[in-house]
Structure 1
Amino acid sequence: MFKKIFAALLLGSVLTTGAVSAADYVIDQEGQHAFVNFKISHLGYSWLYGTFKDFDGTFSYDAEQPEASTVNVNLRTASLDSNHAERDKHLRSADFLNTSKHPKATFASTKVVSTGEGAADIVGDLTLNGVTKEIVIAANFIGEGDDPWGGYRAGFEGTTTLQLADFGIKANLGPASESVELILSVEGVRK
């Protein structure tokens, strides 16, 4: 039975198990229970980590038909935070994300493919820096159930690697820094 799936996001989005028909979820970013993080090599010597603090999204999931699942995420690119103000300013510039021209990144799933017990590939279109490309998010189910406030939640994680040049980011950081890994952790609240 398919029990794991994400989605992120970017942008980083999700699914749940046990329902006979599709259940709709809202990503709980406001409650700080969802994250879109990134990791990129710094010159091949160390890792630079960061996060995007402002995003929202929804997902729908039917455990009996996981291939009918959907994920949609909207991310505000200026919410990038790498824990260094000057670096963040540079990453928001035209050299990288060009957030003044492209303030939003989006992800919309086009299909979900089960890859084994509790795992799936979420295929979809990521629009980043004004460029739309198909990406695949490798997703895994974390858990689901009732919360203390009368709601029902499901949590997932996922990862994907993006080539910077594929999204029009031409800054030359050296061969070790041509790609960035997105690490997505998402908790959704059933509508």
Structure 2
Amino acid sequence: MKKTMLAISLALLSTTSAVNAADYVIDTKGAHAFVNFKIKHLGYSWLYGRFNDFEGQFSYDANNPNNAKIKVVIDTASIDSNHAERDKHLRGDDFLNVEEHPQATFTSEKITFSDATNGVVQGKFTLNGVTKDIEFAIHKIGEGDDPWGGYRVGFSGNTQLKLSDYGIDYDLGPASTHVDIGLHIEGIRQ
């Protein structure tokens, strides 16, 4: 009898934890989310840019953060380095090859928080037709009610990618073999 009650209690607890997770849509319409990057230019300075068009969703429960999940889809043609000719080159075969690979995607496989605000996300990132396992540190910025009757939560994360891992071998010099990627999101609870 006690074992049966314990099993039922554990089943109810696991169900309750799953029910408490909320689904969020990344607020790209309100421009409260960014995918940006930086890469060294010849080792002398930083070149900054962003992807203007992307979308995504995630699930998150502050009481059970390690069950969180996220998926992001980036329109690679929306790359913007604030220089039209350079962006045209970046969209071409030497770099993103957007004609053949119009999207980059990230899907989490595991999220592990070490405390209430810091964690590591592991998952699959696809760019230029190549899928690799990546991980990156994340930081929870905050969560709460918004002025429009909704509820929001925001995170920031960064990682570094080796360009040649994704079939990008254009010679930018020895100081420019890696690109730093930042994902800064604010989600609206659905």
> Could you tell me the TM-score, scaled by structure 1's length?
0.88
CA displacement, residues 133-186 of structure 1 (integer Å, 9 cap, x when unaligned) = 011121001111111111101111110000000111011111100000011211
Seq. identity, %: 61
> In the alignment, what sits opposite 1:108?
107
Residues 58 and 123 of structure 1, relative CA distance in 2, 3 Å threshold? same
Question: What is the identity, as a one-letter code, of the residue corresponding to 2:33?
Answer: A
Q: Partner residue of 2:83?
A: 84
| Greater CA drift, 70-79 or 20-29 | 20-29
1:66 corresponds in structure 2 to 65
Query: Does the aligned pair in 2 maintain the 1:36–1:182 contact within 8 Å?
Result: yes
Q: How many Å separate the matches in 2 of 1:36 and 1:56?
A: 10
Q: For the Cα contact (< 8 Å) 1:72–1:106, is it kept in 2?
A: yes
Q: Where in structure 1 are there 5+ consecutive unaligned residues?
A: 1-18
Superposition map of 1:119-138 within 5 A: 119-138=118-137
Q: What's the C-alpha RMSD, in Å, of the aligned pairs?
A: 1.3
Mapping 1:39-188, distance limit 5 Å? 39-188=38-187
Q: What is the rounded CA distance, in whole Å, between the counterparts of 2:115 and 2:153 in structure 1?
A: 19
Q: Determine the C-alpha separation between the residues in 1 that align with 2:115 and 2:143.
A: 18
In the alignment, the residues of structure 1 paired with residue 72 and residue 184 of structure 2 have an alpha-carbon distance, to the nearest angstrom, of: 13
CA contact (8 A) 1:160 1:183 kept: yes
Task: Name the counterpart of 1:10.
Answer: none
| TM-score (normalised: structure 2) | 0.88
- Distance in 2 between the 1:36 and 1:23 partners? 23
Greater RCO (Cα-Cα under 8 Å, separation 6 or more): 1
Where do 5+ consecutive residues of structure 2 fail to align? 1-17
Tell me, yes or no, if the aligned pair for 1:20 and 1:64 is still in contact at 8 Å: no
Larger radius of gyration: 2
Please state how far the C-alpha of 1:21 moved relative to its aligned partner: 1.2
3-state SS, counterpart of residue 180 of structure 1: strand
State the AA in 1 paired with 2:142: G
User: Structure 2 counterpart of 1:81, which letter?
Assistant: D
Instruction: Measure the CA separation in 1 of the matches of 2:130 and 2:66.
Output: 26
State the partner residue of 1:23.
22
Task: Report the counterpart of residue 13 of structure 2 in structure 1.
Answer: none
Higher helix proportion, which one? 2
